Structure 1
Amino acid sequence: MPDPPPGAWTPDRDSAPWWERTGRGEFAIQRCDGCGTARLPARAFCPACRTEGWHWEAAEPVGTVESWIVNRRPFAPGIEVPYLVVMVRPDPVPGCLLHGSWHAGREPVGGERVRGVFVPVPDGPTLVGWEPVVR
């Protein structure tokens, strides 16, 4: 297989299965086979017990808004500014913060409950964005 062109998006060894799953609209976490610790981002070793054994497990993409920023500088072609980036503490991995685009017509609120949405990027990965949970 030829090397990708310079600047092309390519997943690393540990995260490739995550990106394959998000491309199918699935949110998943790694779970350690030794101690059961859930983790994101994907890693070869468990941060709790250093075990190499783990598996992927589907999880509900829900969490809580921890913080957010309003970005006013272009990040990539086709993304209009300004836009909001939220930092979410996902329920399945409380020690993790996931960043993603905000999908609501207003600013988020700290502590707000959110649900993940899958956002395809042309010639790139499918990202996880966040929207408010409607009750």
Structure 2
Amino acid sequence: MPDPTIFVDADACPVKDEAMRVAERLGLVVTYVCNGGVRPSRDPMVRIIVVPQGADAADDWIVEQAKANDIVLTADIPLASRAIDKGCHVLGFSGKPFTPASIGMALAMRDLNQHLRETGESKGYNPGFRPADRSAFLSALDTLGRKAKTLS
């Protein structure tokens, strides 16, 4: 089985550089999928895929291309769910993994928070991205990448 690929939902990703560093260290291909705005790379292990504008165009492309044991990096809970269904490893940008055991609750909380925003009961502010999140992400991706490589 070939080495896993790291797919990054790149439009709002605060850890693009960290993902590239871990991928380089582990010898994995990293694919950034976006609507535009990601700088090209000369590194043959880095792919930039620009998809048409659209709400789920990047998500759809990632789900179509990803296979079991690939790694998907995203903050998008529906994308995380779809990737888990394909047998992918999924990691949030703060280093929190999405797993088959946790994705149901994550989807339910997303729906509840959306309802609270729509009814005006919540402003819906997301917590800021902290240096501790970046550190947790690096550690979690390194561990996950090593695990995925041993399974390939």
TM-score range, shorter chain: under 0.3
With structure 2 as the length reference, what TM-score do the two structures score?
Answer: 0.24
Tell me which of the two structures has the higher relative contact order, counting C-alpha pairs closer than 8 angstroms and 6 or more residues apart.
2
With structure 1 as the length reference, what TM-score do the two structures score?
Answer: 0.26
Name the structure with the higher strand share.
Answer: 1
Name the structure with the higher helix share.
Answer: 2
